[in-house]
Amino acid sequence: SLIHTNRSPESRAPPMASPALSGTHHRLLLPCFLRRLPRPRSRSCSRLRLDACHADTLLSSSGAQGPPGPAACSSASSAGGFSDWLLTNGLPPGKVAILERPVPCSRGGKDRPLHFVAAGQDLEAGDVAFEVPMSLVVTLERVLGDESVAELLTTNKLSELACLALYLMYEKKQGRDSLWYPYIKELDRQRGRGQLAVESPLLWTESELDYLNGSPMRDEVVVRDEGIRREYNELDTLWFMAGSLFKQYPFDVPTEAFPFEIFKQAFVAVQSCVVHLQKVSLARRFALVPLGPPLLTYKSNCKAMLTAVDGSVRLLVDRPYKAGEPIIVWCGPQPNSRLLLNYGFVDEDNPYDRIAIEASLNTEDPQYQEKRMVAQRNGKLAIQKFQVCVGKEKETISEMLPYLRLGYISDPDEMQCILSSEG
């Protein structure tokens, strides 16, 4: 169901459910006009068959060697149109293909498959999978046109994600007149879903969030939601400060053009696909890269990263691939709680995953102040958090046990001895 941004609140589509949990609605992440975004045409094949349809490829003419990989149905209105747009606007031929993977549906088979970037031919570690020219990369430098304005905004009350989300929302209101129409349409198709076809908990309904009861994740969702709302309330500041940019849009100021729920959906969509580039200016630090996430598959134990090199964003693979295998990139040193909140998935082999355990000294203990000072001299606090990391459980327990024993000791010398030697 598409959302007309100028309709009354009563006529807007209701909030949607997480596709991995429940609900029958289709969530549109960026607002658009019904007349400008027709429903996709029906596919020529009635069901997905990875061995019977053709993939949309972005191969170089010299990249024909190697056996053909598994492919999926693609149509001119989806992957084909997106790939044509990339090539028409300067994407050099590469060694990848855009394929589809079926979604484990909870909506009676109504969820559309996810697109993903796969090897279009056999690759070796160190091969350049693709290069996206900066002319096809969305950054604050491109959005605001003035790096000083970009730095001012992002060091004040608005994040890069809020600025990028607002830009794409206004671009989408232009429909097919926007340069970014095919890219925005592709982001809409993905709907901010991670590689497991699950949206961020930021877009879950209250009943779905009940699955997180008892987990610290529930509080993290609330805190992040409040942060997004604060940024929404500052959007009009961006509008007036960057007037040279937004004067091209014949629309209302942000908080009048877009209700909060629409902005949050766009924010989460941008959050799920933004790339943090290294060794670039502040205005280029956060980038939206076509062929980047969410089309790339994130893994925590991978070394491949998108990097800015000579006017383009390049991906060198860190392992060999057979044609048709998903291309994997590193998602940074993030625990699973952050991966779920930002991208809607968890990584079972995540070496950065951790659980926070909080311990504290008893404030009613007659020796509380003395114990607090002993803890402080040994680098601990009266309320201390211990991070239990995957593969380092023993080290954490060895650090935590002396602190816990402190509560049961009354001899000052023994207190100091226990913490200084850590058991």
Tens digit of each residue's pLDDT (9 = 90 or more) over 171-199 = 998 899 999 999 999 888 887 777 777 88
- Mean pLDDT, the chain, rounded, equals 76
Looking at residue 307, its pLDDT comes to 94
The yes-or-no verdict on residue 85 having pLDDT over 70 is yes
Range in 128-132, 145-149, 237-241, 290-294 the model is least confident about: 145-149
Question: Which band of pLDDT confidence, cut at 50, 70 and 90, is reported for residue 151?
Answer: low
- Span 18-39, average pLDDT: 33
Q: Are residues 281 and 383 in the same domain?
A: no
Which residues is 360 bridged to in the sheet? 383
- The verdict on residue 96 lying in a domain is yes
- Span 216-226, average pLDDT: 93
Burial 250-288 (b: 16+ CB within 10 A, else e): eeeebeebbeebbbbbbbbbbbbbbbebeebeebbbbbb
Are 339 and 298 contacting, i.e. CB atoms less than 8 angstroms apart?
A: yes
Range in 57-61, 373-377, 411-415 the model is least confident about: 57-61
The yes-or-no verdict on residue 405 having pLDDT over 60 is yes
Looking at residue 312, its pLDDT comes to 93
- Span 148-158, average pLDDT: 64
Could you tell me the residue range of the domain that residue 413 belongs to?
Answer: 355-420
- The verdict on residue 383 lying in a domain is yes
Looking at residue 395, its pLDDT comes to 81
- The verdict on residue 61 lying in a domain is no
- The verdict on residue 328 lying in a domain is yes
Q: Are residues 148 and 296 in the same domain?
A: yes
Q: Are residues 281 and 138 in the same domain?
A: yes
pTM for this prediction: 0.70
Domain termination residue (choose one: 317, 343, 369): 343
Using CA atoms of 308, 312, 318, 321 in order, give the dihedral in degrees to the nearest 10: 160
Q: Are residues 261 and 284 in the same domain?
A: yes
What percentage of the chain has pLDDT greater than the value 70? 72
Residue at 260: amino acid letter = F
Q: Are residues 280 and 192 in the same domain?
A: yes
The yes-or-no verdict on residue 48 having pLDDT over 50 is no
Domain termination residue (choose one: 343, 373, 403): 343
Domain termination residue (choose one: 312, 343, 374): 343
Looking at residue 353, its pLDDT comes to 85
| Between 55 and 104, residue with greater pLDDT | 104
| Between 45 and 264, residue with greater pLDDT | 264
